[in-house]
Amino acid sequence: AQARRKLIAGNWKMNKTIPEGLALVRELKGLVASLPGDRVELAVAPPFLSLQAVAKELEGSAVKLAAQNCHWEASGAYTGEVSAQMLKDVGCAYVIVGHSERRQYFGETDETVNKRTRAVVGAGMSPIICVGETLAEREANRTLEVVERQVAGALKGFQAAEVAGFVLAYEPVWAIGTGRTATSAQAQEVHRALREQLVRLYDRGTADRVLIQYGGSVKPDNAAELLGQPDVDGALVGGASLKAGDFAAIAKGG
Ligand code: PEP
């Protein structure tokens, strides 16, 4: 586990105008300049509209650019959608796919997650595939069944060589934006199960290369404990990524 780098990604969701986003990354760049880039990688996922401006601001910095979603078709009559190639062109290295808010509010299914993931990979970027159970599912002891179904659906049809470059994000729905975080033991249990699933679907070498992030109310004061778990390879951070100081502190905690 120690050989895997950590990836700390900030999901801004529908927050920050272009000037606000630029101010945030300017401050962030200064705060994280001293981080060991070979061990801790940072990424920010601004709204589509800010990607180009933020990409420019990040030139020469080690902080990577991510998008929050993309459409699965390459081009055409899909009003309001953005293609993977467009995101690649603007400088994205990662695309978040299947965030629980998209599953909850925008009809995202395991099948559309799979199609979007295919598009992301086809354009030469890495997907950050989000999975996670609701509170009702956890209380019914269905957590592993749910996240394993989501992972299997997302990865359908992918070869080991492709999957080795993927990022999974375990984000329990009950922990997102609620201030309620999974304990480090709860996170580790699910991360370990997902890694064993990757061994079954592919092989140990592939499973050992996939980064599995935790997401759900990660803050500076709980990051180190979560990131200290052997199968927790980073964090997907929502609310706390909107403050440069908090996001940098989380990255340093790892
Ligand atoms: C997220 O949306 O991916 C997330 C983890 O949000 P928060 O950190 O605000 O819970």
Q: Which domain holds residue 189?
A: 6-253
Classify residue 38: in a domain, yes or no: yes
Q: Which pLDDT value is given to residue 196?
A: 98
pLDDT band at residue 254 using 50, 70 and 90 as cut-offs: low
Q: Quick check: is 171 catalytic?
A: yes
- Residue 30 in domain: yes
- Mutation test residue for ligand 1: of 217, 222, 242, 250, the one with most atoms within 8 Å of CB: 217
Please compute the mean of the pLDDT values over residues 212-228 and round it to a whole number. Answer: 96
Question: Which residue owns the Cα nearest ligand 1 atom 2?
Answer: 238
> Binding site annotation covers 50?
no
Report ipTM (2 d.p.). 0.95
In a domain, 242, yes or no: yes
Domain count along the chain: 1
Residues contacting ligand 1 via CB (< 6 Å)? 11, 171, 176-177, 215-218, 236-240
For 126-148, the pLDDT digits (tens) are 999 999 999 999 999 999 999 99
Buried b (16+ CB within 10 A) or exposed e, 114-152: bbbbbbbbebebbbbbbbbbbeebbeeeebbebbbebbe
The answer to whether position 228 is within a domain reads yes
CATH number of residue 243's parent domain: 3.20.20.70
Report the mean per-residue pLDDT for the chain: 96
Spacing, Cα 206 to ligand 1 middle (Å): 27
Q: Has 165 been labeled as part of a binding site?
A: no
Q: Is residue 227 part of a domain?
A: yes
Q: Is the pLDDT of residue 3 over 80?
A: no
Task: Say if residue 174 carries a ligand binding annotation.
Answer: no
Instruction: Decide if 71 is catalytic.
Output: no
79: in domain:
yes
Per-residue pLDDT at 56 exceeds 90: yes
Task: Answer whether residue 1 is part of any domain.
Answer: no
Choosing from 105, 135, 171 the residue with most ligand 1 atoms within 8 A of its CB, the one to mutate for a pocket test is 171
